[in-house]
Amino acid sequence: GDNWIPIQYFGPFAVPLALPMALKYFMYDQRKALAKGAETKIIEGILGSTRYITSQTPLAGINMFFNALESMSLASGLPMPRVYVMESEQINAFASGRDPEHAVICFTSGALQKLNKQELEGVVAHEMSHIANYDIRFMTLTAVMIGIISILAEIFLRSLWFSGDRDNKGGAILILLGVLFAVLAPIFAQLVSLAISRKREFTADATAVKFTRYSPGLSSALKKIKNEHVSPKDKHHYSAA
């Protein structure tokens, strides 16, 4: 609108001014979302083929699944999370929620049908480990920080462009540095995020073994998941080898 102040009036102060405003907006938005119980509605809102289930839901493998869930809840000392199932033949699962009291886990129907008791316990333990380690909250904050870095890089670049110093040699160098920062900062932040995510997955695997005290179950489940993503041509190649 007409009340916005052009960014060139802030110059080099644009970045330090923008950071607290961005953080304040994010925290306010998160408080509103959490007040509405957003964690328990994320699954239903994003995935249309997903439904909430209980131990009484008529579904193949439901009894074995809830037995595994109860066992891992006792082993981890965590409350039972809300459970959803997504109609899919592939083996997959994920967890969501800011803390154990508001946790949600979702399994595909293929996982319930194709995994045996030990494998199912391993996968459940893996998702419970993400909840116990607060991985969902941590990775959410990591994603937000990446977004903030990208925004600040863009603001920094624009503040240099509107500063009026681009006609001299020093201003041109600053603009060049600004372009490099704007391009490289988000890439670097994304690489750090991927490295953190990989480490959290390894930690979840190790914690899951502590919960189940039986590593072959999770190992066998991971092999089944991997084989589902191998093309028939590659399967034939591996079997021939």
Best CA proximity match to 133, nearest among 31, 202, 218? 202
How would you classify residue 103: left for phi > 0, otherwise alpha for psi between -120 and 50, otherwise beta?
beta
User: 12 is written with which tokens?
Assistant: 């080099």
CB-based contacts of 85, cutoff 8 Å, min separation 6: 50, 51, 53, 57, 59, 106, 107, 108, 109, 112
Nearest to 156 by CA among 185, 120, 187: 185
Give DSSP secondary structure letters for 121-186: HHHHHHHHHHHHTTHHHHHHHHHHHHHHHHHHHHHHHHHHHTTS-TTSHHHHHHHHHHHHHHHHHH
User: Residue with structure tokens 């644009």?
Assistant: 14
CA-nearest of 175, 168, 162, 155 to 9 is: 162
Query: Is 228 among the catalytic positions?
Result: no
Listing DSSP states for 39-55 in one string gives HHHHHHHH-TTEEEE-T
Among candidate residues 101, 121, 127, 228, the one labeled active-site is 127
Look up residue 83 and give its amino acid: V
Active-site residues, by number, are: 127
